[in-house]
Chain A
Amino acid sequence: MAGARGLALKRPSAIPGFGLALGFTLTYLSLIVLIPLGGLVLKSATLGLAGFLEVVTGPRTLAALRLSFLTALIAAVVNAVFGVIIAWVLIRYRFPGRRLLDAFVDLPFALPTAVAGIALTALYAPNGWMGSWLEPLGIKVAYTPIGITVALVFIGLPFVVRTVQPVLEEFDRELEEASATLGASRSQTVFMVMLPTLMPAILTGFALALARAVGEYGSVIFIAGNMPFKSEIAPLLIIIRLEEFSYAQAAAIGTAMLLISFAILMFVHLVQAWSRKRFGQ
């Protein structure tokens, strides 16, 4: 059987339908995802390398890309920290309202981004519930990069919580007991025994939240203010270029965003693989 592996497309199996299922999957995947994405890269290639770089390193594009990635990074870090705390609290402690909180975590998955956007704007506008309270402290949230970060924290939170939760749930309490038996304090157990084991999950959640936040559009445009060079995110710039019928430029910015996102995902993937090898799991 093992000898046939190199020749045959798949390992022999009694289950039927391989050809049909694989064929349909590949056709659908190609038509919906691969060919259109290829078209994007092709379109930006019409600019040539020099033209592509000129568009991507233009001051306005650069400012938009920097803003998108910087705010996404800050939001993902906030989510990683608070997401782990929330996952911890939801799994380890019992308190009234826990189930309700647990259900709430999924909200940003389900809530349409435009709804989240207008709700957050209403909340953090100078006359909103949070805004009227933060304004006297001198903190302006709506229509500034802080507002963008707040929106990105909102949409990214469930990624971290839902990635860490299952791993924490299956965490072997015997390890904690062993650590305590060997004389470790509770904080030593948490930070030196548990956290390294949770690290791959935290990183995955971080990466997913980051990837989602970089491309986010709907929840951000309402709260951002959309001032060029100040609070204009990269996806909005794509739309602006598209409305100017500069298709190739829009494609170039899109391609740049995709490349940077994939680079980030790749990096996190490598860190994850390293941390798996280093700490087990």
Chain B
Amino acid sequence: MTDAAIAPLLVSDPRPRAVTTEQPQVRYVLIGVAVIFLVVFLFLPLASVFVEAFSAGLGAYFASITEPDAVSAIKLTLLIAAIAVPANVIFGLAASWTIAKFEFPGKSLLNSLIDLPFSVSPVISGLIYVLLFGAQGYLGPLLKSENIQIIFALPGMVLATIFVTFPFVARELVPLMQEQGTQDEEAALSLGASGWKTFFKVTLPNIRWALLYGVVLCNARAMGEFGAVSVVSGHIRGKTNTMPLHVEILYNEYNFAAAFAVASLLALLASSLSSSRSLWNGAMPTRLPHRAATSRPRRKPWTLGCKMRSTRPPAVRGRCRGRRGGKSRCGSLSRMSCGPMV
């Protein structure tokens, strides 16, 4: 560059600007676009739920959420979640233990199969159980002779919910446990702890935040699932109606205020969940030994199927992996010195 080319640059931009950010105008426009998009697409729908719910007055609101059909729907929703969530927690723990602590052939296939329900339409999730257990299904005649009803009854709804929420806990745990490695467990075992003791005293405390978050996500989806449960429920009012199905029935009866009143309960649950995520980030105990690792799931990259390792290169991780406390420093150090391109 000649002096003549540099001079106007120096003059036209008297205030030095960090080269890694945009011009203020660009920044304001981008912030504006993001805010407007989020307000129109996310905030307005949420706000409209509450506005519509109270449109008929406070009395009508409470009447519609305490009416017998609504109460039985709430109870059924809680019951289904109370069965489906623990089942998926046990599965999530077993799956993440298998995938994160051992090397075996077919591991990446197993890891991808766990994600399978994510890409299956909820309607299909219900359909497969109808085909299996329905009156004309493969096991239909057998179930009928034994007088067991699965479809259009609680078991079918629980199965469909388990299918839909299947990957949630495992998805939170696998990347975290892979990152934590096996050293803590090996240390506990070499000091004489039994396998179960190692699991409860070493592994479980290490993963508790991710586990909790997985449970919360799984629970939210379990309570809110509509498509899959709708296929297997049979919509018997007061009997096999969950909260989302009850909302649908009320809405289709043009009982909008009542529909939105029940919906507002679900929306309240959802909004408290999504705000808790960012609150946790601030409230997480700072002296937690695995802070760097445990806070990770908040920004865990969603991956397609079988991405097995974190973005950090394994050699760097191995080199500076030391005692527990060193982990967070290690992460930032390696990033600073090597960067993601190494």
Instruction: Specify whether A and B are partners.
Output: yes
Which A residues are closer than 8 A to B by beta carbons?
Answer: 9-11, 13-18, 20-22, 24-26, 28-29, 32-37, 39-40, 43, 82, 85-86, 88-90, 92-93, 95, 97, 99, 101-116, 118-120, 122-123, 128-130, 150, 153-154, 157, 159, 162-163, 165-167, 169-177, 180-181, 186, 190, 201, 204-205, 207-208, 211-212, 214-218, 222, 234-236, 238-239, 242, 245, 247, 250-251, 254, 257-258, 261-262, 265, 268-269, 272, 280-281
Partner of B263, one of A39, A89, A114, A201: A114
Q: Which residues of B contact A122 (CB under 8 A)?
A: 48, 52, 256, 260
A201: chain B residues within 8 A (beta carbon): 301
Interface status of B22 (Cβ within 8 A of chain A): yes
Interface size, B (range): 35 or more
The answer to whether A215 and B304 touch (CB under 8 A), given A25-B98, A242-B130, A251-B127, is: no
Instruction: Indicate if B62 sits at the interface (CB-CB under 8 A).
Output: no
Q: Is the pair B199, A17 in contact by a Cβ cutoff of 8 Å?
A: yes
B interface residues with partner A (beta carbon < 8 Å): 19-23, 27, 30-31, 33-35, 37-38, 40-46, 48-49, 52, 90-91, 94-95, 97-98, 101-105, 110, 113-114, 116-124, 127-132, 134, 136-138, 159, 162-163, 166, 182, 185-186, 189-190, 195, 198-199, 217, 220-221, 223-227, 230-231, 243-245, 247-248, 251, 256, 259-260, 263, 266-267, 269-271, 273-275, 277-279, 299-305, 311, 335, 339-341
B21, chain A: closest CB distance, angstroms: 7
Cβ contacts under 8 Å, B97 to chain A: 17, 21
Min distance, Cβ A7 to any Cβ of chain B, angstroms: 11
Q: Separation in Å of the B68 CB from the closest CB of chain A?
A: 21
- Other A-B contacts than A82-B37, A123-B48, A201-B301, 17 sampled, CB-CB below 8 A, are A32-B166, A36-B129, A103-B279, A104-B274, A105-B274, A110-B217, A110-B274, A111-B224, A112-B224, A112-B244, A123-B44, A163-B301, A217-B122, A218-B226, A251-B131, A254-B127, A258-B120
The answer to whether A104 and B45 touch across the interface, beta carbons within 8 angstroms, is no
CB distance from B308 to the nearest CB of A (A): 14
Please tell me which one of the listed residues A28, A82, A172, A181 contacts residue B335 in the complex, with CB atoms under 8 A apart.
A172
Closest to A211 in B: B119
| Chain A residue contacts of B104, Cβ below 8 A | 9-11, 18, 22
A114–B248 touching, CB < 8 Å: yes
Number of A-B contacts (CB under 8 A): 340
- Is there an interface contact between A170 and B340, defined as CB atoms closer than 8 Å? yes
Q: A143 to B256, alpha carbons, bound, how many Å?
A: 17
- Report chain B residues within 8 Å CB of A211: 118-119
A205 and B226 contacting across the interface, CB-CB below 8 Å:
no
Find out whether the CB atom of B121 lies under 8 angstroms from the CB atom of A93.
no
Nearest chain A CB to B241 CB, angstrom units: 12
Known: A17-B195, A251-B131. A33 touches B116 (CB 8 A): yes
Complex CA–CA separation, A88 to B256 (angstroms): 38
Quick check: A186 and B189 within 8 Å, CB to CB? no
Question: Are A104 and B256 interface neighbours, CB within 8 A?
Answer: no
Given contacts A32-B162, A89-B31, A265-B119, contact A24 B94 (CB under 8 A): yes
| Min distance, Cβ A258 to any Cβ of chain B, angstroms | 7
